[in-house]
Structure formats: structure tokens, C-alpha cells
Amino acid sequence: MRWNELSEENCSMARAVSVIGDRWTLLILRDCFLRVRRFEDFQERLGITRPILASRLKKLVDEFVLVKVPYQKRPLRYEYRLTQKGLDLYPIVMAIVHWGDVYMADKKGRPLLHTHDLCGKDFDPVMVCSECGEPLVPRQTHVHPGPAATSSRHLPLGMDSPGARRIVKEKAAS
Amino acid sequence: MRWNELSEENCSMARAVSVIGDRWTLLILRDCFLRVRRFEDFQERLGITRPILASRLKKLVDEFVLVKVPYQKRPLRYEYRLTQKGLDLYPIVMAIVHWGDVYMADKKGRPLLHTHDLCGKDFDPVMVCSECGEPLVPRQTHVHPGPAATSSRHLPLGMDSPGARRIVKEKAAS
DNA sequence: CGCAGCAGGTTCAGTAATCAAACTGTCGAG
DNA sequence: CTCGACAGTTTGATTACTGAACCTGCTGCG
């Protein structure tokens, strides 16, 4: 499968990954949330090569995750700012940072702490259920087909997934 | 910067991205949470080439995100299961799926709905502050150096970041 | 026994993406 | 008129990914 074919898959994750599923893109987005906005600043902070940075920024602009806003004329220069679509990536970025803090930090602790202005405390992000507010645990959730469910691929062991075929076979054999 | 150098960066996000920051890896992990466990099943569902799948699974095992568990002897065969470290990627996966649902779904709606067994309802994941329980909004948070803060890179406009140098210059000029 | 089939990979040649470094173009300051 | 800042683009060499085929270890069938 080619990368651009990913965006046509009937799977929200595949479509999201076709936009943000790239190491450089994720690091660029982290910097966006740290209020980095200019080409040279991204380049110096990330150590990314200039052609790659240009291509990733272009893609994010094409996808409406970032907008180019002029911050001066003569010479006309633009900075990159998060749109609402981009700002809504915050949970993804925070979830990744938090996982890195827990599992990839060295002995000295975390390089960066996050403070919540509302309560004034340093926080960790916690993912909860929108309906009951309880923290989400993978074992306490399951999935079922939604309105746009068509393909059997990317459904969890749907009736014609390989796993299900195997299970059906195994049951038939017993 | 090379990919493997990423893991040495003093930044939790960079280190996490060195493990999971790859389109295929993210899709493999999604399937893990859908209880896909075998090489052939991953291969068929994802349409990934076999060498890449083998290399990604190996990397995830090396990083203790997955473990190989034998499910039969003669012939000895293994399946891939999430470790606790892998299970803790759930918020990342859910956040990506949710963003995809909101911004990348087609008119028909979502391909997949998630049900929370505790409350019995279909839910969206919401990221809240561990201290006060309020939903996290990027504008209501800020960062400051933690115990392991060393390099100025990857700090938000630290005193010797390019952005800060520019701001200092601009203030001095006024 | 001989051979097909399955699960889980590996090997190989060709194509695509990424790298470092240099180059372009516009402008303001000295 | 030269210098430096900014925001990229171009170039040639290196690295990663792709698709197809191949390999291994075992089982079940005739």
C-alpha cells in the first residue's frame, strides 16, 4: 500500500495517520504547541533538513492543520499557526509526551513539566469516558461497526476477517 | 538528525516518537488493540509488506511494547501481545482515532463506534487534568523545565532559543 | 514415502524518500 | 555595495521501502 492510498481507507486511524503519522510531523506539531512558528526556528530546534521541513509544513497547511499568516511585509514573511483542527491535536501530542515521560525518561526525571492554569498544578493528562467520566482502560471497552462501516478490513475480527475465519474454522472442527 | 539519534534527545516526545512515530507502527498498534495478534493477520489486514511488518514487530518487541508468546508447539508459533507498556499506548491510539473521526470521516459518519463497558454507552475519549479533572485546552496550560531539563533545544523559547533571541533583540530595539 | 499446504518469516532488485550542502531571491542596515 | 536574515529550492549521494519470490519447519493426506 502506498502512503497516499492510506487516506482513502475506511478507517479513521488510517486517515489521521496519513496526515500526522510521520516522525517529523509529530515533532513539528509538538513545537507548534510550544509556540514555535517560523521556518528557521523549526529548523534549528528540530535539526530537520530544510527540504523535509518545507514539505511537511506544506502538507500540514494543505490539510488545514496549520495556516500561513503574514507577520511582516517587505519582505513578505509568513509564520505557521495552528488552526482549530491543529489545536485539536493537543490530546494526541499530550498523550505521546506523557507516555514518553513514563517509559522513556532517564533517571533524572522529566525534561519538561506541564502546568494547568485553571488549577495551578503540574498535571498529567488522563483520558476519560465522555459519558461517565471514568478513566478509560482498554479492557473495559469494545468496538462495534458505526454508520460508515463498509469494509471488513479494519473492523475487529469481523465476520470475514482472517482471525474470525480461523476462529470459525476452529469451532467447526470441534 | 538520524532516526536512531532521536532516542537520545532530551525530550520525551522525541523518544516516544523514535518508537511509535511511524505510520505502519501506529496502524499495527491499532490492530493490537483490536485483538489482532498474528503475523499473517496483521499482514492481510494492513496490506503492509512482509519485510516491513517483520521489522516493525521486531522493533516493538525490542522496545517491550509487544511480547512474543507461543500459542502452540510443533511447529512452534508465536503471537504478539501488548505488554503493560503497550497497553499504556491506548490514550494515544484513542486520541488519534477520535481526531480522525472528527476531521477525516466522510459524510456517512464513523466507521467504528467505541462502547465503554463500565457505563454501557458509546463514548468519545476526553483528556482531562489529573489534578482537577477539567478538560485540557492548549491555551490553559504552559510548560516549565523539569528535573531532567538540560538542553535549551526542545524547551519552549528558552533563553537561548532562536525565538527568544529574536524577542530579546526586539525588546532591546524598542 | 512424496508432496501439498500453512505460518512466519528472509532475500533481492528496483523505486521512492531523505540527507547534507550549496544556491536563490528579497529586503533592510551600514 | 556588501552583509546578513529569512524562507525556501536545487542537487547528487545515501538510505528506506516496495513487491515478488524464496526459504524453513512442521502437519496431514494418499
Closest nucleotide C1' to the C-alpha of B49 = D18
Q: Above pLDDT 90, what percent of chain B? A: 71
Partners of A30 on chain B (C-beta within 8 Å) are 11, 13
Covered bases, chain C (protein CB within 7 Å): 6-12, 17-22, 25-28
Q: Average pLDDT for residues A125-154, to the nearest whole number?
A: 89
Coil vs helix vs strand at B169: helix
* Residue B8 confidence (pLDDT) above 80: no
Task: Give residues with Cβ within 8 angstroms of B122, minimum separation 6.
Answer: A131, B113, B114, B115, B116
CA–CA gap between residue A136 and residue B79 (Å, rounded): 25
| pLDDT for res A105 | 87
Q: Please, are residues B10 and A110 in contact by the beta-carbon 8 Å criterion?
A: no
Instruction: Count CB-CB contacts under 10 A for residue B117.
Output: 12
Q: Is residue A24 part of a domain?
A: yes
A120: Cβ contacts below 8 Å, ≥ 6 apart: none
- Quick one: pLDDT band at residue B166, thresholds 50, 70, 90? low
Question: Do both A31 and A92 map to the same domain?
Answer: yes
In this structure, the answer to whether residues B47 and B104 fall within a common structural domain is yes
B93 and B167 inside one domain: no
pLDDT of residue A83: 98
Classify burial at A22, counting beta carbons within 10 Å of its beta carbon; exposed 0-12, middle 13-18, buried 19 or more: buried
Residue A153 in this model has a pLDDT that exceeds 70: no
The number of domains in chain A is: 2
Residue nearest to nucleotide C25 (CA to C1'): A75
Answer for A79: CB within 7 Å of strand D.
Answer: yes
**Rounded to the nearest 5°, which phi and psi values hold at A53?**
-60, -45
Do residues A96 and B20 lie in contact, with contact meaning Cβ atoms separated by under 8 Å? yes
Domain range for A157: 143-174
Residues B89 and B152 in one domain: no
Q: Nearest C-alpha of chain B: how many angstroms from A68?
A: 17
pLDDT greater than 50 at residue B174: no
When mean pLDDT is compared across A7-21, A74-88, B1-15, the lowest value belongs to B1-15
Largest separation between any pair of C-alpha atoms in chain B: 78
Q: Are residues B121 and B156 in the same domain?
A: no
How far is the C-alpha of A169 from the C-alpha of A63, rounded, in Å?
44
**Hey, which residues does B72 pair with through a beta bridge?**
B77
Whether residue A91 and residue B34 make contact (CB cut-off 8 A), yes or no, is no
Whether A75 and A154 share a structural domain? no
Within this chain, do residues B79 and B39 fall inside the same structural domain, yes or no? yes
**Residue range B95-104, pLDDT digits in tens:** 999 999 999 9
- B60 CA to D1 C1' in angstroms comes to 59
Q: How far is the CA of B49 from the C1' of D13 (A)?
A: 27
Chain D footprint positions (protein CB, under 7 Å): 5-11, 16-21, 25-27
Lookup: nucleotide whose C1' is closest to A55 CA: D8
Say how far apart CA A160 and CA A167 lie, in whole Å.
10
**pLDDT tens profile A90-122:** 999 999 999 999 999 888 899 999 999 999 999
